[in-house]
Structure 1
Amino acid sequence: MPKTTPTNDRVATVGRRKRAVARVRLSSGTGKLVVNDRAVTNPHPSILQPLELVGLTSAVDITVKVVGGGTTGQAEAVRHGIARALIVYKPESKTTLKKAGFLTRDPREKERKKPGLKRARRAPQWAKR
């Protein structure tokens, strides 16, 4: 469940996608985005989608710590975390974000490799004779 701290309208949430986990902190501000202690000027397109949908792109500051996964998984984990933070920060935006699918955790994960197979489902080449 999202956690809120009473001072300064700060919200802390967690977003996940594949192996990536993003810890998001959202507070009222001027639209700054900081990911892993670096200011981001040209973010992945999917990251700002929830903010654009709600109309708070330049009204909140976001700080993110993200670990695990690749670039797309991390970007979508951040998007999931931002969407979760927005429903605490601005509760009336919940239906809009839910309809857009930003609050739904994508459950798809990499399938594990099985013994006797080369990959998850790829079997060694088979010869009839």
Structure 2
Amino acid sequence: MAGKNVQAVGRRKTAVARVTLTPGKGEWAVNTRSLSEYFPRPTHQQRVEQPLREVELHDQFDVRVRVHGGGPTGQADAVRMGLARALVEHDEDLRSVMRSGGFLTRDSRKVERKKPGRPKARKRFQFSKR
């Protein structure tokens, strides 16, 4: 698969990230902006780069990402999963490393819907005994 573009999709909550890996020097473009510009928090940047750093390939690929929906943390986790899936598609031998790091496991938690007769999903209105 050398010299080829690899695409993968990652999801988290309502965020969806489409990740494209291209052989390069380690440049990032998230919605046409740099990684540090799009994710100003260092925790989000580290979380996004984790799969590449785990297999020490952070300077061998250029990463282009289109991400929409959700908030910053959901988007960062969606990009992380998409990146891990793209790396596995590039090299199947990385699957065990990605699996053990938890990068391929989809976090299925979503916001619980609001129920009728309640102010929020689980919260109750104040109870008055008298």
Look up the equivalent residue of 2:118 and give its one-letter code: L
Q: Percent identity?
A: 47
Shift of 1:27: 1.1
Partner of 2:81: 80
Question: Is 1:37–2:38 an aligned residue pair?
Answer: no
Change (3 A) 1:18 1:117: same
Question: Is 1:111–2:112 an aligned residue pair?
Answer: yes
TM-score, length basis structure 1: 0.91
| 1:11-90 mapped onto 2 (5 Å cutoff) | 11-41=6-36, 43=39, 44-90=45-91
TM-score, length basis structure 2: 0.91
Deviations 1:107-126 (A, max 9, x none): 00000000110000001001
Partner of 2:42: none
| SS of structure 2 residue aligned to 1:125 | coil
Shift of 1:7: 8.7
**In proportion to residue count, which structure has more strand?**
1
Partner of 2:125: 124
Shift of 1:8: 3.3
Look up the equivalent residue of 2:78 and give its one-letter code: A
| SS of structure 2 residue aligned to 1:119 | coil
Look up the equivalent residue of 1:12 and give its one-letter code: Q
| SS of structure 2 residue aligned to 1:61 | strand
| SS of structure 2 residue aligned to 1:87 | helix
Query: Displaced runs of 4+ in structure 1, greater than 4 A?
Result: none
Deviations 1:31-81 (A, max 9, x none): 001000112247521000000011100000100000000000000000000
Q: Paired residue for 1:10, among 5, 8, 12? A: 5
Deviations 1:92-114 (A, max 9, x none): 11001101100011000000000
| SS of structure 1 residue aligned to 2:85 | helix
Change (3 A) 1:58 1:76: same
| Equivalent residue pairs, number | 124
